[in-house]
Chains A and B, each alone.
Chain A
């Protein structure tokens, strides 16, 4: 990236500042030694070290994807990343007072402690490789809700952890899931006991500070029978000239009759490769929603998936992607109907601005056992400028005669007549464009909690400044 490009991007990206924080540990390179050191620093049981080492072999054995966005630049840099960076902070503090001031200030700038007070049931904050803060409201703690770092999940709830960990997304699933399995550090472990309703959302916030760093958080969420939870993740990083990597794995087990939602507001800077695997196993009459908002990153490859494994299981995948100059967002979702009377939908809204490119990639699979499955897929693309790009890859494998399948795709352009109409009412051109874009994503954005909808609107307004005319 040239300095001029960087300057242009920095002006648009509000969270591109960095902290002057000296890490305690920095590990470079992709070797079994690095993996052993990570595991040792965490004091992990032997089985987990073996799992990691095996996963590293799987990573090396798996070929690079031959489809989707161009990863050749990333591939060249794989030996140069820092794969583990431990901040100089106590692990997983329970009070913001115990978080070092410089780091705490960053989260204050991001508004995290304030949101925690007002609208959240619990917050986890990750800084580079480690969770530096985790807290949950006392009444939920008393009801037996667990919300800790993944490390504490291993330490304090090893049986529960081991029963579900890597069962939803095994390391062999894809190259980057293998990479995460070898290197994972940070992320959340969540357990909601049967029948408990966590009425307000839990949030995890992922912050990167170190240049040339790869973040590999791992989250495991177990929603027991009839329980309810909404988990939100957000993320930002400083803008550096070199590339960065974020490879998360999220596993969710939604047991019979349970309900869960997982919301992502991804706002990485445009030097970030964001390659994430997210999957939920949905039980009988259970429900899971993925709400996936991708605004930032250089490349994103992310297809939240739901496997409907119990009769009557339901899932919705709502996806928003906003690709500007230098960005390729390859997003969508997967629905696998492995039981009768299951239903699901994918609604994708993508916006491409400047030379940005957004791609919808989706898979719907109904094997013969998915009797009477109902599925609907809708993907709409909005192109802001002449050079903006979009493409659609909807895969459907339907092997059940009784399944009902709907699919609709549209591509539209930000229309001059819409802009003119709104400006003749006194609304400036940039705001008019932002209003049209907000209207375009409204069917998905309305599912966001209010505070996040407001934040999303603000980000879109920033993105649309100077984008037309």
Chain B
């Protein structure tokens, strides 16, 4: 079995407006890829389309999860097959505790009852890595959380649910340097031969802590350049204009 998340010639619209215009990208398990690019390039859209956001219409292309096209599946089915999207703007769900919600999600992911001890074991380890207070899991999902707490909560979910592929949508936005380090610690704890990640970010800063194996650059709905971590440094230094000129975007 091919153990990759492969995006093939993906086109997607919001309403009549095309946002993705033929994205090609492959993330093998065991690797962390960064996805960079200027505002409006379609990075977040790509993450949402992979996760199955119904506000986008896929016009053409495939998203292959370990060889299987998942574009016809509902978001929950994709998640159970191993896709995870860490949201740029996590949603508040009042009255639903993190612990209760995560246990339901974990049981859905495994398709069976998960013993309470096993669940709390996973939760405890994640809380430790994220240097968080255990009291948070009895709070309502993201309700009244600061931006940083919301992002930490996304990584907590990532660590408990243990997906095969994670897409982190600007997880670094709104984080101070300490929070950034902790979030990176969580993601790095997930790294291993069975886990692949696509880290969407504007800034090289995050990549100092989550060191990518590959860096892709998206512009105007396509991946226009792929390189190693040096590419991110170069973008940080020189901006995107030289690349725009180079690829004629």
Asked if B74 and A423 sit within 8 Å, CB to CB, the answer is: yes
Instruction: List, in ascending order, chain B residues with CB within 8 A of A436's CB.
Output: 93, 96
Give the docked Cα–Cα distance between A291 and B105 (Å).
Answer: 31
Known contacts A423-B79, A428-B76; is-contact A435 B96 (Cβ 8 Å): yes
Instruction: List, in ascending order, chain B residues with CB within 8 A of A440's CB.
Output: 94-95
Asked if B76 and A439 sit within 8 Å, CB to CB, the answer is: no
Q: Does A421 contact B (CB under 8 A)?
A: yes
Q: Which of B53, B91, B141, B157 has the most CB of A within 10 A?
A: B91
Asked if A416 and B105 sit within 8 Å, CB to CB, the answer is: no
Known contacts A435-B96, A439-B140, A442-B95; is-contact A423 B90 (Cβ 8 Å): no
Known contacts A429-B74, A435-B96, A442-B95; is-contact A420 B53 (Cβ 8 Å): yes
Cβ-neighbour of B52 out of A417, A418, A424, A442 (below 8 A): A424
Instruction: List, in ascending order, chain A residues with CB within 8 A of B79's CB.
Output: 423-426
Known contacts A426-B76, A428-B76, A428-B108; is-contact A421 B96 (Cβ 8 Å): no
Asked if B96 and A439 sit within 8 Å, CB to CB, the answer is: yes
Q: Does B196 contact A (CB under 8 A)?
A: no
Give the docked Cα–Cα distance between A426 and B111 (Å).
Answer: 10
Give the segment of B4-12, B26-34, B80-88 that binds chain A: B80-88
Cβ-neighbour of B84 out of A418, A421, A424, A438 (below 8 A): A424
- Within the complex, the shortest CB–CB distance from B185 to chain A, in Å, comes to 22
- Within the complex, the shortest CB–CB distance from B238 to chain A, in Å, comes to 35
Asked if B75 and A418 sit within 8 Å, CB to CB, the answer is: no
Asked if B94 and A420 sit within 8 Å, CB to CB, the answer is: no
Asked if B95 and A423 sit within 8 Å, CB to CB, the answer is: no
Asked if B108 and A421 sit within 8 Å, CB to CB, the answer is: no
Give the docked Cα–Cα distance between A320 and B227 (Å).
Answer: 57
- Within the complex, the shortest CB–CB distance from B111 to chain A, in Å, comes to 9
Asked if B93 and A418 sit within 8 Å, CB to CB, the answer is: yes
Q: Does A57 contact B (CB under 8 A)?
A: no
Instruction: List, in ascending order, chain A residues with CB within 8 A of B90's CB.
Output: 421
Known contacts A427-B108, A428-B76; is-contact A421 B157 (Cβ 8 Å): no
- Within the complex, the shortest CB–CB distance from A444 to chain B, in Å, comes to 10
- Per-residue CB proximity of B123-162 to A under 8 Å, as 1/0? 0000000000000000011000000000000000100010
- Within the complex, the shortest CB–CB distance from A117 to chain B, in Å, comes to 26
Q: Does B14 contact A (CB under 8 A)?
A: no
Instruction: List, in ascending order, chain A residues with CB within 8 A of B76's CB.
Output: 423-429, 432
Give the docked Cα–Cα distance between A226 and B189 (Å).
Answer: 58
- Within the complex, the shortest CB–CB distance from A440 to chain B, in Å, comes to 6
Asked if A425 and B95 sit within 8 Å, CB to CB, the answer is: no
Give the docked Cα–Cα distance between A438 and B104 (Å).
Answer: 13
Give the docked Cα–Cα distance between A425 and B158 (Å).
Answer: 9
Give the docked Cα–Cα distance between A416 and B108 (Å).
Answer: 20
Q: Does B51 contact A (CB under 8 A)?
A: yes
Q: Which of A425, A431, A441 has the most CB of B within 10 A?
A: A425
Instruction: List, in ascending order, chain B residues with CB within 8 A of A441's CB.
Output: 95
- Within the complex, the shortest CB–CB distance from A26 to chain B, in Å, comes to 46
Q: Does B101 contact A (CB under 8 A)?
A: yes
- Within the complex, the shortest CB–CB distance from B73 to chain A, in Å, comes to 11
Asked if A418 and B161 sit within 8 Å, CB to CB, the answer is: no
- Within the complex, the shortest CB–CB distance from A221 to chain B, in Å, comes to 31
Q: Does B109 contact A (CB under 8 A)?
A: yes
Instruction: List, in ascending order, chain B residues with CB within 8 A of A415's CB.
Output: 91
Instruction: List, in ascending order, chain B residues with CB within 8 A of A428's CB.
Output: 74, 76, 108
Instruction: List, in ascending order, chain B residues with CB within 8 A of A420's CB.
Output: 53-54, 75, 91
Instruction: List, in ascending order, chain B residues with CB within 8 A of A439's CB.
Output: 93-96, 140-141
Asked if A417 and B91 sit within 8 Å, CB to CB, the answer is: yes
Give the docked Cα–Cα distance between A415 and B92 (Å).
Answer: 10
Which B residue's beta carbon lies closest to that of A442?
Answer: B95
Give the docked Cα–Cα distance between A441 and B95 (Å).
Answer: 7
Q: Does A74 contact B (CB under 8 A)?
A: no
Asked if B53 and A438 sit within 8 Å, CB to CB, the answer is: no
Asked if A421 and B93 sit within 8 Å, CB to CB, the answer is: yes
Asked if A438 and B161 sit within 8 Å, CB to CB, the answer is: no
Give the docked Cα–Cα distance between A320 and B220 (Å).
Answer: 50
- Within the complex, the shortest CB–CB distance from B128 to chain A, in Å, comes to 21
Give the docked Cα–Cα distance between A426 and B78 (Å).
Answer: 7
Q: Which of B76, B85, B93 has the most CB of A within 10 A?
A: B76
Which B residue's beta carbon lies closest to that of A421?
Answer: B91
Q: Does A43 contact B (CB under 8 A)?
A: no
Residues from 39 to 73 in B contacting A, C-beta threshold 8 Å: 51-55
Asked if B54 and A416 sit within 8 Å, CB to CB, the answer is: yes
Q: Does A443 contact B (CB under 8 A)?
A: yes
A421-B93, A435-B96 known; 10 other A-B pairs, CB under 8 Å?
A: A418-B93, A420-B53, A421-B90, A425-B101, A425-B157, A436-B93, A436-B96, A439-B93, A440-B94, A443-B95
Offer 5 A-B interface pairs, CB within 8 angstroms, sorted by A: A418-B93, A421-B93, A425-B84, A426-B105, A439-B141
Interface residues in chain B, defined as those with a beta carbon under 8 Å from any beta carbon in chain A: 51-55, 74-76, 78-80, 83-85, 87, 90-96, 101-102, 104-105, 108-109, 140-141, 157, 161
The 6 A-B pairs of least Cβ separation, nearest first, read A439-B95, A442-B95, A426-B108, A426-B79, A439-B96, A425-B105
